[in-house]
Amino acid sequence: MSIIEAIILGIIQGLTEFLPVSSSGHLEIGKAILGDESLPAESLMFTVVVHAATALSTIVVYRKDVAELLRGIFQFRINEETLFAWKVVISMVPAAFIGVFFNDEIEALFDGQLLLVGAMLAVTGLLLFLADKARNTDKPVSPLNAAIIGIAQAIAILPGISRSGATIATSVMLGIDRAKAARFSFLMVVPLILGKMAKDIMDGGLSLESSQTPQLVAGFITAFIAGVFACRVMIALVKKSKLIYFSVYCFAVSLAVILYTLFV
């Protein structure tokens, strides 16, 4: 992997982690275009590093909310911070369950399954279209809504379904305020990213060679910068109900991927 490739991958990871277009789907498309040998998505170390960068970008953008979340977790009295923290914990359960008990089956879906990616991108496009047309309300996130949003996040493990798109769209269609929907969507993924990183580290298989260091640094920096940018852009777009642009994009890419799979 060259430094240029690391920079490109970092930008893709940073942008697509927050923009509702499916980072996993785009990485699979990238593997098909560049070839598995050219795109080192299989490099566990690189994957861990760029995911750490996007987690850090979320923490930076939502630093006050993250501090509130941590206070809620470690407090032993019931207040607004504690309730919010437990809603985040509730939302994590479905995806954590899938990740722990069906990890091998999930990994099998990330092996050149372009037709699946194309179909799931169409699902993402439909979710975003419906969310864009939903009425703007000011409902807060309830524990039941947190569980439903968590199920949407678990389904979004499939390549081609955007995690942020699925969770924000589900939140909006449940009648949750758009700004609160974006805030909850981005905060609920931070513990999962950190947990996945910890699992990868504990499972072993991470190897760091000195020759990799420049690429890892380049990937981390670009993923972090792109992540901060994409996170802020998504907050603004969700508030303005502009998800339709991403819906059209997902439908277009879905069609292109399906045609490529069937005829090329």
Query: Are the beta carbons of 216 and 49 closer than 8 angstroms?
Result: yes
* pLDDT at residue 240 in the model: 75
Flag the least confident range among 54-63, 140-149, 185-194. 185-194
Q: What is the mean pLDDT of residues 50-74?
A: 82
Top-confidence residue, 258 or 133: 258
Residue 62 has pLDDT above 90, yes or no: no
d(CA 207, CA 205): 6
Higher pLDDT, 29 or 258: 258
Cα 145 to Cα 165, 171, 214, 225: the distances in Å are: 16, 8, 43, 31
What pLDDT, on the 0 to 100 scale, is given for residue 121? 93
More confident position, 197 or 37: 197
CA–CA distance, 250 with 230 (Å, rounded to integer): 17
**How many CA atoms within 13 Å lie on the side-chain side of 244?**
6
CA distance 260 to 139: 42
Confidence of residue 13 (pLDDT cuts 50, 70, 90): confident
* Alpha-carbon gap, residue 128 to 20, rounded angstroms: 8
- Contact between residue 172 and residue 131 where contact means Cβ atoms under 8 Å apart: yes
Segment among 44-48, 246-250, 253-257 with least mean pLDDT: 44-48
Beta bridge partners, 176, equal 139
How many CA atoms are closer than 13 Å to the CA of 263, on its beta-carbon side?
A: 6
**Helix residue ranges per DSSP H, the chain:** 3-18, 23-34, 44-61, 63-74, 80-101, 103-108, 114-133, 143-155, 163-173, 178-203, 213-239, 244-263
pLDDT-derived band of residue 40, with 50, 70 and 90 as boundaries?
very low
Q: Is the pLDDT of residue 205 over 60?
A: no
- Please state, for a pLDDT cut of 70, what percent of the chain lies above it: 85
Judged by average pLDDT, the poorest of 111-115, 153-157, 163-167, 213-217 is 111-115
What is the rounded average pLDDT for all residues in the chain? Answer: 81
> What average pLDDT does this structure show over 142-146?
91
